[in-house]
Amino acid sequence: MNTSGIGYDIHRFAEGRPLVLGGVRIPHDRGLLGHSDADVLTHAVADALLGAVGERDIGHHFPDTSEANRGINSLEILARARELLESRGGRINNIDVTLIAEEPKIGPHHGAIRSSLAATLGLPVERVGLKATTNEGLGTLGRGEGIAALAIASVELP
């Protein structure tokens, strides 16, 4: 049976934090605020995988009230979402993610981000779609206050 899941995440910018997207550290003057490394792109993909198997979101599996999750590398969250999916006999067909940000430009990091996600998910890089867009100056994202990501995962279940 083919199924799919959708994920969404948003984090505001914060001074003094590294910016991590898709497991890749991106040079920028601000990072994203969060209990983990605040990797909004990876969080959206993990939620899409969890949704594809009818699971609750990463906030349930990795609560921000747990000190064990403070500063956790989001690739670990993604790997654990993959493990949960595979424990149910699931197999990821592909993922597609859109990053919404006024800055920084993602183009120079596109290949590294796709490779990082593909390696963590055990997928060929060709099965990882990554796009970036702006919010055309509208709303909190348009004012450059943070970054959001949308993801969809296509999964095969027994």
Residues 130-158, mean pLDDT to the nearest whole number: 96
Helix (H), strand (E), coil (C) string for 59-111: HHHCCCCCHHHCCCCHHHHHHHHHHHHHHCCCEEEEEEEEEECCCCCCHHHHH
Name which residue leads in pLDDT, 44 or 68.
44
pLDDT tens digit sequence for 5-56: 999 999 999 999 999 999 999 999 999 999 999 999 999 999 999 999 999 9
Measured CA to CA, the distance from residue 47 to residue 55 in angstroms comes to 9
Q: What is the mean pLDDT of residues 132-157?
A: 96
Could you tell me the pLDDT band of residue 69, with boundaries at 50, 70 and 90? Answer: confident
Upstream peptide bond of 104 is cis (omega within 30 degrees of 0): yes
Where are the chain's structural domains?
Answer: 2-156
What pLDDT does 12 receive?
97
Which CATH number applies to 2-156? 3.30.1330.50
Answering whether pTM is above 0.85, one says yes
